[in-house]
Amino acid sequence: MTTSKRDITLAVFDHTLSAGLGLFIAALGTTIHRQWQPYTLIALLVTIVIATIMLRAWRGLSLVIPFGAAIIITVQVLMQSGPGGDVLLPDQPISYVWIIGSIATVGLGCFTPRSWFRDEKVTRTSTTVA
């Protein structure tokens, strides 16, 4: 099977888009996770699960890898103190929930059942007991 230049270009675009989505969600989540506690945090974690499931349904686990890597790297970079000593993730429980939860929710999306992403119809046979 030969791989065309168009297929490679689409794969690079898909992976770049996946990483960009992870970077956007992680940057947004890191800056607003403490607003309207705990509702914003819950919405952000649900967004990560939904995005992971969407990416997995779109192209499989190959798109989840750059998405998860972008989330982990972005959260870790934004966790550092800024030039003036400001921090976006202070030493508070809700910040730890965001740090650990953002990684855990990507894993949760990875462990969803494979049958959710099949296109063929699943038929169930019923057994009758006489």
Write out the two tokens for 45. Answer: 């974690």
Residue 88: pLDDT band with limits 50, 70, 90: confident
Which residues have a Cβ under 8 Å from the Cβ of 47 and sit 6 or more positions away? Answer: 25, 29
pLDDT at 109: 87
List alpha helices for the chain, DSSP H.
5-32, 39-59, 61-78, 93-110
Average pLDDT of span 99-118: 86
Which residue has tokens 């890191």? 30
CB atoms within 10 A of CB 11: 14
pLDDT tens profile 35-81:
888 899 999 999 999 999 999 888 888 899 999 999 999 999 999 88
pLDDT at 29: 93
Structure-model confidence comparison of residues 117 and 35, the more confident one: 35
Model confidence at 130: pLDDT above 60: no
Q: What is the pTM (predicted TM-score) of this model?
A: 0.83
CA angle (126 as vertex; 124, 127 as ends), nearest 5? 145
Rounded to a whole number of angstroms, the distance between the first and last alpha carbons of the chain is 52
pLDDT at 20: 95
Rg (CA), the chain: 19
Model confidence at 27: pLDDT above 90: yes
Percent above pLDDT 90 for the chain: 46
| CA distance to 23, 86, 126, per residue, from 18 (Å) | 9, 29, 41
Cα–Cα nearest to 39, from 107, 104, 97, 88: 97
